[in-house]
Amino acid sequence: MTDEDKIAFGTMCEALLRSDAFIQVMGYLSNSDLIELANTEPHEVKKREGLYTDIRAMRRLNETLSDFVNERDALVEQLGADEDE
């Protein structure tokens, strides 16, 4: 991936993270999983493990998208510094 591609991808990731639709969907999914997790019966270990995995996956998605945004910001800063020299 070229620097230009990374910058464009980071911009898309930022738009997604700031999207009202994405925020609402992720919030709904996370909250519904947390509620379901809290309402499991003591013997439903596998169900809790699956819900925990889902919650971690959503958090990891957010972290990964944020990482691409941070990489974009670092590249933009670096390219700006290179132009100033």
Domain ranges (residues) in the chain: 3-84
**Three-state SS at 85:** coil
Q: Could you write out the DSSP letters of every residue in 19-35? A: -HHHHHHHHHHHHHHHH
Give the residue-averaged pLDDT of 76-85.
80
pLDDT of residue 85: 63
Tell me: pLDDT of 84 over 70: no
Query: What single-letter DSSP state applies at residue 39?
Result: T
**Rounded Cα gap, residues 34 and 53, in angstroms:** 11
Percent of the chain with pLDDT over 90: 92
Model pTM score? 0.85
> What pLDDT score was predicted for residue 80?
85
Q: Among all chains, which residue has been given the structure tokens 């998605």?
A: 61
